[in-house]
Structures are given as C-alpha cells and as structure tokens.
Structure 1
C-alpha cells in the first residue's frame, strides 16, 4: 500500500510541479507582461534624486 501511494505521489507530484513551472515560465516570458516587469525593475532607480545642476555630489545621503 505504501509503495502504491509513494509511486502515485511521485508521479503526480512531478507532473504538478512541472506544470506549475511551465506556467510561471510562460507568465514571465509573455510579451504583454514586459512593461510591468520593466517598471518593477526601474522602481529602485526612480527613488534616487536627480543629479544637481552644478555637478557637485549631493551630500544629503551618507
């Protein structure tokens, strides 16, 4: 009985996780999602202050 349950869980578990992996891969590479991921990648950079006009380094952040 244990061997049958273990075999069932291994087979269907593998198929389940493979399907989830393919789903995540398709979602990540789908062209429609590119703008969303690009915006998320730029999010940390959007918080930075722009460089000053005179070229001096901004000393407000240490």
Structure 2
C-alpha cells in the first residue's frame, strides 16, 4: 500500500479547492442571472432610493 506524501495531499487539496471555487462561481452566476430573480434584484436596486426625502443637510430628521 502506498502512503500519501505531503506533496500528493497538497496537490489534491489545491485541485479540489479550484474545482470547488469554479462550481461555486458558476452557481452564483446562475442565481444572479436567473430570470425569476430579476424582480427581486430590481427591487433591491431601487429600494435604497425609496426611503430618501432629499439630500442630507447635516441636521437631524424630524
């Protein structure tokens, strides 16, 4: 039986990490560009502007 050397373990860990990050990136892109999520992201994009009454003047709101 062949033992695992340090270099082999490092190579496996680097390969697994690379494929894990690639799969995670693809999953995030699919989620972000999925047509069903368009309204959710548009609502989030404009929601920060909905609560503002005007420019900040430096005084406390009443």
Q: Which residue of 1 aligns with 2:60?
A: none
CA displacement at 1:48 relative to structure 2 = 1.9
Partner of 2:34: 30
Separation (CA, whole Å) in 2 of partners of 1:32 and 1:12: 31
Q: Cα deviations across residues 7-56 of structure 1 (Å, max 9, x unaligned)? A: 0001111001100000000000000000000000011110023xxxxxxx
Find the aligned partners of 1:13 and 1:45 in 2 and give their Cα distance: 39
Per the normalisation by structure 2, the TM-score is: 0.77
Q: Alignment length, in residue pairs?
A: 53
Secondary structure at the aligned position of 2:52 is classed as coil
Runs ≥4 residues deviating over 2 A: none
**1:55 maps to which residue?**
none
Distance of 1:11 and 1:4 partners within structure 2: 11
Q: 2:20 aligns with which of 12, 16, 21?
A: 16
**Is the aligned partner of 1:2 residue 2:6?**
yes
> How large is the Cα RMSD of the aligned pairs?
1.7
Stretches of structure 2 lacking an aligned partner (at least 5 in a row)? 58-62
